[in-house]
Structure 1
Amino acid sequence: MAAPVALSIAEQIKQLDDARRLVLSDANYYPQIIQGILPIINREARIELKRWVADFLAETFASPTVPSQQKETLSLIVLETLKSMLENPHEDSAVVKSVVQTAASIYPYVFRWIVNNPYDGPTWERMTAIKSRILRIWDSAPTGVRICCIKFAQRVVLVQTAGPDADQRRGNPVEISLSMVPHNHPLIPPRNLEAEASGLLDRMLGVFQENVSDAVLVNATLNSLSILIRARPRISNKILNVILNFNPLKQANSPMTPKLRVMVKSMEKTTRSLLIHINKRDPQNPLAGRIQQYVERMMKSRMEIFDEPSRKRGPPEPTDGLDPTKRQKLGAQVTNSAASRLYVPPLTPGPHTIAELFTITTDEALKTFDVAQLSEDLVLKIGIPILQRIDSDTLNQAIEGIRNRYQSLNAAQPEELNPETAPLGVEEDDDDYEPDFYSAEDTEQILNKLDTAPPEEPEVRAPDMALGTFTLSPPPPLTPDQAAQIGQGTVSRVFGVMQTLEEPGKKTKAGMNRLAASAYDRDAWITIITRLATRAAAGLEEPSDAIKAEPETSSPLSLFNNIRESLYMYVVEDFRKRIDIAVAWLCEEWYNDRIQMKLGGEAVLHYEKWVLKVLDGIVPYLDARDKVLTRFLSEIPGLSSAVLDRVKGLCRDPAMVNLALTSLLYLVMMRPPVREMALDAVEDVWATYDDAKPIAAKYLSKWRPGFADRLKAPEDDTKDTNDVTAAA
């Protein structure tokens, strides 16, 4: 068997680019692609392949499309590869830069993995080795790598310091900090982590206390510290005190070269922007007054250093209309001279187009530009401001020049003779013809001329050359994947339009008699989108077994599921303000399911699936004082035991018992068809959760009269048993 032909570097890079385009279109392929490209990286690999893989890993772990849990799993896979590339002393600087960026991105996920899995010592040893190597090359690496090392140190400090006090019951699933580490963790003791973070922070702040002339490092440190100031209030005062003691204009005292001038300006601007942004975010900051004084002092010093030479010369003097041989005088009146007049060149002899008639510029390159290439909107945006600001005298001169051109064209045109009244024997193109020496012919002369004229030859017509019917070839058919991708892009644009529309205010609506989508507002778009998702594919879908047999991307009906998924994400992003959208959508789903069931046959039902999914999306973020759950349960058209099970599950948290039982009581009072189902749910809560028994017993005693007797009977039995035991 012949050995496989080795691919060239260009061919391998092309295949890798194809794999990258695949994962950018569908993030689900990231695990397979990463596991496939890691084996090709070793110490003997070509530098082009190493750079591509390192850049791809940095892009992957910085991408917001990859879920957090998936990043955590992938970070454990790439640790050994990152470690081997960093430990190579002769590694390319571009590869090291991308590896450090990747390490900064995966450090929080590895940290969270170790917190939840304290037995995985080898993983933490690999991460510790990577961290030690990055901190060793921090001061000696090229500038680009040092910037990435600063970012890595900032991420370590962010993870290994305690975050702001948050709701301990629910917490923040995105926040990864020292607060989530137990005190008795065998691999990462909190004291050691906090001490290491403090040392790294001091090392980052050392750039402001040393005489560092590299503005790139100073700006990179300032940009990294802005996140620490915002996310870690406990160390923000320490950082701000160091920055307020830093003088970016200190080096301006040395001989000012163009390079040093740019660097000093850059450091001063970055420092000032950071402090102004901090004051805008938190005007009540205790250091707000000191920050304001620092900013004003920096601006004053900057003007004295960089603007002093120009201010010594005085303001610019007017020069137009003055004698250049004499001393310039301020306030001199500029007179209109011949040099200030607009020159419109005359047209050359010969025929001219309308564009040449109205073109007054002398720039040949500008004459060749076709204005028709610009859109009408762009022409209006450019033309209207120009017409508003143009000098009236200049405009009048241009109009006068065009008028002179037009008059010269009219004067140069010869007077055409009427061929019917032209004199005999005179040709139209005769140069010696003088029309003043001849008079026009009368009627008798014209008739005599027609009688003596030779007979006209019959006109020879060319044979008809009719062209056949031309038909364009049909376009190639779209593949299912292309159709799904185009449909998803359309859905994204529709939701993009809806994002720009205003929220509905307090306005009077037409009620039930209004037409659906009769106005260009958010409600109209919601109506269009929900009905497109629910009704467009009604009757075309197959039963669930047939749908599961094929992947979703190959189904032509996946577009409508994509719309439903986009609706779900749009609602969950801000469910408190968009609960009315969720109710309207689910009402359409319920109505469509009922119509399909009424028509008979096997129908695909969607209401139950999506109402449960919406509930699962909003329940984890509910607060004990929220009324959204009660409104949602009262307005959706159908309730099932699965929906009430989600509500009962809230009672696992003692703080949410009142919200769950209040929502169920509202159903008992206001929705009689589901009263018994809601009371059964309340009774299940009473039997399952001890914290909910007092409130649940109160509701059941009122709405189920027999429950009080059943509740009293076990107490009497218990009392009789205790009496018998005491007597014995």
Structure 2
Amino acid sequence: MNSGLSIASETLSQLESARALALSDAAYYNQIVPGVLPIIGAGSNAIIELRRWGADFLAETFASPTLGLEDKQKLSLLVLETLRENLETVNDLGVVKSVVQAAASIYPLVFRHTILNPNDAQNWQIMAAIKSNILRRMDSAPPGVRICCIKFVQRVIQVETPGLIADPRRPEQNEISLALVPRDHPLIPPPNLEAEASGLLDRLLSILHEDTSDALLITATLNSLGTLIRARPAIANKILSAIFNFNPLKLANSPMTSRSKVMMKSIERTTRALLMNILKRNPESPATPRIQQYLERIHRMRLDVFDESNRKRSAPVEPTDGLDQSKRQRLGANVPADAISGPQVPSGPVSVAQLFTLTEEEGAKNFDVQAIPVEIVVKIIVPLLMTVDKTKMDSAINIIRSRYLALSKAQPPTTLDAAVAATRQQAIDEDEEYEPDFEPTEDAEQIVNKLDNAPPEGLLPERVPDAPLAPFKLPQAPPLSEQEIEDYGGGTVRRVFGVMSALDDPTSRAKAPKPGFNRLAASNYDRDAWVILISRLATRAATGLGDPMEKVDSEYKTLGRRGTFSVGNTIRDALYMYIMQDWRKRIDVATSWLSEEWYNDRIQLEAARAEAEDTNSDSNDLPTPTLHYHKWVLKLLDAILPYLESNDKIMIRFLSEIPDVDGDILQRVKRIAEDPERVGLTVNILHYLILFRPPVRDLCIDALEDLWRNYDGTKTATSKLLKKWRPEVLEQHQETPNGSFEEVKVQ
């Protein structure tokens, strides 16, 4: 045993000398790495110290900035088997951590080698085995290994998502990403890698929302997300949304300890540093307002959580009423309930102001309340009344009541009236510009003339006794003309859509979870609530859903007979124009609206069918309800399809979320293939519908076959799908060397 340890120490000293030589000159890595692999490999029965040194050396080698990219790529193929064996056979934490770090460094290199060499399946299979082993360790390994796994997952996501191509003519100088992979690559098909990257990103972001108390994992995740936000703008919004929903101070809900405080401070500082770096790199980003709002929110939360112990001791709650203001307040003083007192009411006439005065401060007595605007008084009067102590208010009311009763007993009732009149006269005397109104006195000649012109005493009209007044009713408004109805209704609809346009700002949208289909239309004052409300006004306002068709409100029947104006059609036209103004950002509005239209059509058809069954009549004899879903979905498609781009996925989302897809819709989709640059988009739409909408699978396969037979330039793209879903079409034709198909002639 001692001889084995001495041999190991000698070997380690030699290896350290080789390492120092490589650090001094990176050119020696090409000679040292192949030489040390037999010594540090798992298959060489090396002792654990040698394996630890080897794993650390490999991680250091591929992280070295002095070693060239081409040299790293050649060496990465040599160490793949060694890394896999160490992961599968060695359980030492130090070895596993270094191997995972080395794998994170060589994954882009092996990925690039596989792109350039599509026939080299062996090396990619080894890399895939290493990746699977690391991903299995991500949830169950110790924290140190999990942190290294997070770094590996971040590197995989960065490689398997499309990046920017700086120069298409020099692919060797572009960043290694999914954008460099051909679509027909046999080993790494882009759709599979893109789906894997999306799943790994969700798995990485879930660490922020799990109930974990390990600050190391959370800070490691946040540090890895910064690179993805900077290098991959396509997924930056998804990552930022997850960060905005993350509460770095969620441990404050549990019992506070010194350990939890240190953890929360670390997580909060890491989150703040991440977002501040994003603002510094791109201060004009659309996400800047949301980032600033989030930073302000966590700043306030941090003050509430951490600054509580740093604040000075709050002033004691001392009773102040009834104590001498010129002396120091004494704690625990018993203040009587009727401590409020005012100046004594003087003897003699008393004004209203003297009756209600409860303070002896001259400033408060002489303050003119009329100087305060009425709007401000209305705003402050309710909060002031809410803060008044009930005991003090009752005491003040009792004092005023006792004064009034005392004055009533001491003086006759007229005295109070005289006091009020005296107060008014005093105010009049103080006003210098006051001029009383008076009528001039009539002279004797005017009185005689008035008596001469009076009628005889017998001809005076008899006094009619007072009769009860009849109830007063406003006259009925004249009926509106058809043009007025259309103008007023259109103006109302435009005002509603003005509110929706104001709520289009992303910062004004609430982050509450969305309820289901049976949600209330106006549960929240946000954009989604207005979309639901307007959609249901368009579809359900004049249909009487839930009632038989003959119970429709008579007001709408009268309106229908009066003219051609329709509330529902007016709202539908406005919805269509609103969506088309910015259809990429408002495609969710179109989906919600069309879902309501489809639901309304189904309810009307069921109501017509139920009426036919109740009356035992043929359904053809009853009036057919007007259906709107099919009309408006085709109108939207006709307006959107000309503006679609070849890599646009918005139509896949739209067709996957609308409630019904039929042959007319697929006919519009096939028209996209008339543009050779958008053939791939058409095939992707049909492929998605085949996989995820089984009710229309046959229609989509028929559309694929129609594209293959009748549209030029679509055979190559559609043949792969037809080979799986309808191979009998291709059996009648054979592929030529130039990629075209010729019909097979049967002898």
TM-score by length of 1: 0.42
TM-score by length of 2: 0.41
